[in-house]
Amino acid sequence: MCGVFGVWGNEEASHLTYLGLHALQHRGQESAGIVATDGETLYSHRRMGRVADVFAAKDLDRLPGASAIGHVRYSTTGGSVLKNAQPFAVELAGASVAIAHNGNLTNTDALRAELEAAGAIFHSTIDTELIVHLLARTPGASMLERVRKVLRRLEGSYSLLIMTPHQLIAARDPHGFRPLVLGRLKNAHVLSSESCALRLVEASLVREVEPGELLVADADGLQSHRLDQDAAVEPRQCVFEHIYFARPDSELFGQGVYDVRKAIGRRLAQEFPVENADVVIPVPDSGVAAALGYAQASGLPYELGLIRSHYAGRTFIEPASSIRNFGVKLKLSPVEAVIRDKVVVVVDDSIVRGTTSRKIVRMLKEAGAREVHMRIACPPTTNPCYYGIDTPNKGELIASSHTTDEIARYLTADSLAYLSIEGLRRSVDGGERRFCDACFTGRYPVPIPGVSGRKSSLAERD
């Protein structure tokens, strides 16, 4: 998962983008980058690490101009190297172009094979470079025309920002899997993965970029175009953004994330009440809003039974032998006064492998909980996402091969219940017709080719 942010038409473009990326930091902490332009040259600064560490004041000073795009990238296995950082900036014949991409293409193997056969050389393992190669080989009367031709060849999910010294183009795939919103700050156009970043830079939210829409900002103002790829394509926005990924203070796909999560919690309470429960607690922070909804609908008291540490770092040294499994303990710790001798309903956003949930149940029981009933704010996650959410293989998804009862036993929970798919659809406006829920249903809106057997024979030791 990633986040993108762009500004067209404000002299503090790179500073605003820096702020915007800060507000989108939850969408990716592996690397960050900004490309800015003064109308002539593209200036680029990218590094591994978080936004606050990647940019010093002098770095922003060296990114002049009234337009900029930025990117934060999520850490995924095996590809954590600088050359995969974005925005990706290159010089094509007669043009400089920078691209920031949130999403995941599904026809990369075929496209890459075709390009390599024609002599293209790849330097990274990211989809963005593939888009650049297609751009380089696609002639056209204008950059917009070239971009449109290229996008028609892409399958899968993308919310893209493409910048030249003269234009900023925003594009969203026809299904609109990943979010992208348009804002306004005085005369400037602002684009962001989520609306929370607009608020931080004091821009107002204009509207979402629509699925299949191409927005072009340049000296002539802002114009909207259609990809026209397939008029019959229905929107399939990612419901998991609402469940887990987006920030609760964002408005997403036309709805407030916090509201959706509370609605989910309320429905979960109706579907799966716990009769003798004493208290409802969330797994912080992502379970908080659903737990509040659950507590309010059930009339049970809401308490903060698990404290989340602000300092749970990425690199942590485990003692050799006698003490084990500190991963969850360093992040979460129980408040005994809340839990001891209580029948506890604990609400979490989802279960992936089940290992963390199992540790949480054990932690609550060690802290004295009489019973632990786990309630999950979505249906069982049975299928991997191929459109940008970093889920593991199907084999690692515990719900793909175990019943809810089996999972409950594994977790050592006294009961376990998932929100029904029907309940989820009713918690969001438009439900089935507007959202992708393939991770719960296996119904993929865009077909997924067989898993790629490609193995790179080039290893960067960085």
Catalytic residues: 2
Q: Using CB under 8 A, which of 141, 311, 393, 453 touches a copy of itself? A: 311
Q: Using CB under 8 A, which of 253, 302, 418, 435 touches a copy of itself? A: 302
Tokens at residue 108, please? 């990369």
**Binding of a copy of itself by 90 (CB under 8 A):** yes
**Binding of a copy of itself by 283 (CB under 8 A):** no
Tell me the H-state helices in 310-455. 326-331, 336-339, 355-366, 404-411, 421-427, 438-441
Q: Which of 45, 136, 130, 123 is nearest to 91 (CA)?
A: 136
User: Which of residues 162 and 288 has its CB atom nearest to a copy of itself in the complex?
Assistant: 288
C-beta of 148: minimal distance to a copy of itself in Å? 17
C-beta of 43: minimal distance to a copy of itself in Å? 5
Q: Using CB under 8 A, which of 232, 320, 393, 450 touches a copy of itself? A: 320
Stretch that binds a copy of itself, among 57-65, 167-175, 213-221, 409-417 (CB under 8 A): 57-65
Per-residue x/- marks for a copy of itself, 108-147, CB under 8 A? -----x--xxxxxxxx--------xx--xx----------
**Binding of a copy of itself by 199 (CB under 8 A):** yes
Instruction: Decide: 170 and 224 in contact? Cβ < 8 Å.
Output: no
E strands in 186-287: 188-192, 204-208, 213-218, 221-226, 237-238, 251-252, 255-256, 279-282
Q: Which of 450, 418, 445, 449 is nearest to 243 (CA)?
A: 418
Q: Which 327-346 residues touch a copy of itself, going by CB under 8 A?
A: 329-330, 333-338
User: Which of residues 253 and 440 has its CB atom nearest to a copy of itself in the complex?
Assistant: 253
Q: Report the C-alpha gap between 228 and 231 in whole angstroms.
A: 6
CA distances from 303 to 132, 261, 306, 378 (A): 51, 17, 9, 21
**Binding of a copy of itself by 422 (CB under 8 A):** no
Tokens at residue 417, please? 């219940």
C-beta of 186: minimal distance to a copy of itself in Å? 9
Cα angle 164, 166, 171 (rounded to 5 degrees) comes to 55
Q: Report the C-alpha gap between 211 and 407 in whole angstroms.
A: 37
Q: Using CB under 8 A, which of 142, 223, 309, 452 touches a copy of itself? A: 309
Q: Which 369-388 residues touch a copy of itself, going by CB under 8 A?
A: none
Residues 6+ apart with CB under 8 A from 117: none
Residues 6+ apart with CB under 8 A from 370: 341, 342, 343, 344
C-beta of 230: minimal distance to a copy of itself in Å? 26
C-beta of 427: minimal distance to a copy of itself in Å? 14
**Binding of a copy of itself by 16 (CB under 8 A):** yes
User: Which of residues 122 and 444 has its CB atom nearest to a copy of itself in the complex?
Assistant: 122
User: Which of residues 333 and 355 has its CB atom nearest to a copy of itself in the complex?
Assistant: 333
**Binding of a copy of itself by 214 (CB under 8 A):** no
Q: Which 20-49 residues touch a copy of itself, going by CB under 8 A?
A: 22-23, 25-26, 29, 40-45
Q: Which 142-171 residues touch a copy of itself, going by CB under 8 A?
A: 165
- Tokens 């000296």, located at residue: 219
